[in-house]
Amino acid sequence: MDREPDLPLTRDTILSGRVAAMVRVADPSAHMLSDAELAHSRAELLDDHSGRDLWVFAYGSLIWNPAFHFAERRPARLFGYHRRFCLRTHLGRGTPDRPGLMLGLEAGGSCTGFAYRIDAAAVEQESWVLWKREMILGSYIPRWVVVDGAGPDRRAVTFVINKAHAMYAGRLPRAEIVRTLATAQGMLGRGCDYVFHLVAELSSSGIHDHGLASIAGDIRETQRQGA
Q: Look at residue 4 in the predicted model and tell me its pLDDT.
A: 59
Q: What is the CATH number of the domain that holds 153?
A: 3.10.490.10
49 part of a folded domain:
yes
pLDDT, mean of residues 184-205: 94
Q: Per-residue pLDDT averaged across 142-157, rounded? A: 94
Range of the domain at 153: 11-91+98-170
- State the pLDDT at residue 92: 85
Q: How far is CA 211 from CA 85, 215, 226, in A?
A: 11, 6, 23
Q: Can you give the pLDDT at residue 1?
A: 43
Our count of domains for the chain comes to 1
Q: pLDDT, tens digit, for every residue of 88-108?
A: 998 889 988 899 999 999 999
Q: Is residue 105 part of a domain?
A: yes
Annotated catalytic residue, options 4, 106, 134, 176:
134
Instruction: Name the average pLDDT for the chain.
Output: 93
Which residue in 41, 68, 58, 52 sits closest to 153, CA to CA?
52
Q: In this structure, what DSSP letter does residue 78 have?
A: E
**How far, CA to CA in Å, does 35 sit from each of 10, 12, 23, 158?**
18, 16, 15, 20
Q: Which H helix or E strand runs over 56?
A: strand 54-58
**Radius of gyration of the chain from Cα atoms?**
17
For 151-178, the pLDDT digits (tens) are 899 999 999 999 999 999 999 999 999 9
Is 69 part of a structural domain of the chain?
yes
End-to-end CA separation in angstroms for the chain: 11
Active site residue 221: no
Question: Is residue 200 in some structural domain?
Answer: no
pLDDT tens-digit map of 6-54? 778 999 999 999 999 988 888 888 889 999 999 999 999 999 888 899 9
Rounded Cα distance, 215 and 226, in Å: 16
Report if residue 221 sits inside a domain.
no
pLDDT value at residue 91: 84
User: 111 near 102, Cβ under 8 Å?
Assistant: no
Is residue 127 a part of any domain in this protein? yes
Q: Is residue 206 part of a domain?
A: no
What is the value of pTM for the model shown?
0.94
Question: Is 59 among the domain residues?
Answer: yes
Query: How far from 124 is each of 22, 44, 69, 133, 185, CA to CA, in Å?
Result: 25, 14, 11, 15, 33
